[in-house]
Structure 1
Amino acid sequence: MDSIDEVLGELPLPPYVTAEDVGFAVKALAVHAAEQWPDGPRCRNDRAPHPCRLHRWGQRVLDQRGLTDRQVQVLIAEQQAPQR
């Protein structure tokens, strides 16, 4: 965990997870994905040690919603697909 994470702590979860929260969580996982650096995996977006706060929040939201890893991967792929 990064030192800023120790100060700020975890982002709070919503009281109940809506479809809109799922959309935000999928976006958080897609944008804050891991990228390999010489000192280990870092967030692609903010270069914090991976998983960063927003990635962890997104994963916790999707876990609370009961989505499997496979379902999450499908949602991320759908979001990253070109819009027609």
Structure 2
Amino acid sequence: MLHEGLASAEEIDTAMKLGANHPIGPLALADMIGVDVCLFVMEILHNDFADSKFRPCPLLKKMVNAGYLGRKSGRGFFNYNK
């Protein structure tokens, strides 16, 4: 949804917190884990299971290549350098 421009990171996380009762949104969680770690895990799952549902979103690769790794780099799906 974010990659396709259908919703912002804030909108996605708010929808998951309010609509699915998640304590934290999936994008904020990815920032805490590390976008690079999430990409690495998705690549391993995709390669090992050869299942397209595990294929990483191109946005993750762009973010990692740009150094947007989440909280540890100060920027990921959200900006932490405020």
Which structure's relative contact order is higher, taking Cα pairs within 8 Å and 6+ residues apart?
1
TM-score by length of 2: 0.30
**Higher share of residues assigned helix:** 2
TM-score by length of 1: 0.29
**Higher share of residues assigned strand:** 1
